[in-house]
Structure 1
Amino acid sequence: MGVLTRRFGSRQPTPVQVRWQDGEPVEFQRRPVRRGPSFLVTDVRERWIEESPWPFPSPMPVGGDRIRCWRVLARSSGDLERPAEEFVLRMRAGPGVWDLIRVDD
């Protein structure tokens, strides 16, 4: 494995574009696929905040990165007959920076 492959390997988790309303996610679509299926959130199962320390030493008495997380049930908008699948959506501190983790059964 080359140095660049290790350093710039595939991104995990998947980046997504999320539409939300009243502080809750209501629809999401994987990026960079612009014309791929979107998913409609049918239920929010759990909410929590993850905190990670800064990856570098800092003299400032500030916490690390705060990540808001939602465990949701969602259906593909292209096939509403299929049962809902479980996903975890994570929003980093910056606006519009979302990650998606598919929960395996």
Structure 2
Amino acid sequence: MAGPLDELVQRILRRVDHFKAEHGLEEAEVSVELVDGSLYRLKTISAEPGFGFVSMCPHCEEGDPEEIIVPLGAIRELRIAAPSHEQALGFAGSTAEG
């Protein structure tokens, strides 16, 4: 895994911003597929806790928050798309520590 995780997350956030600008969108939908086949629509992504792991908060039911911490090697795909029409849930990058 070359490069620091903070830089990777910042580059992902720039790609999301570029995608929104390129397609004239106010929001984008970001999803991640893990190697085990699980798929999450993300609200945020963070370089914490580091050491080869990233934290992601998927969109979840009201009052039922969730955060997943996975090693980079567990990520198969990150997908950026226009928000689906049935549920417009956006994505916000997270660089906050702690």
Quickly name the TM-score band, shorter chain normalised: under 0.3
What TM-score do the two structures reach when normalised by structure 1? 0.23
Which has the higher Rg, Structure 1 or Structure 2? 1
Higher strand share: 1
Higher-RCO chain (CA-CA 8 Å, sequence separation at least 6): 2
What TM-score do the two structures reach when normalised by structure 2? 0.24
Higher helix share: 2
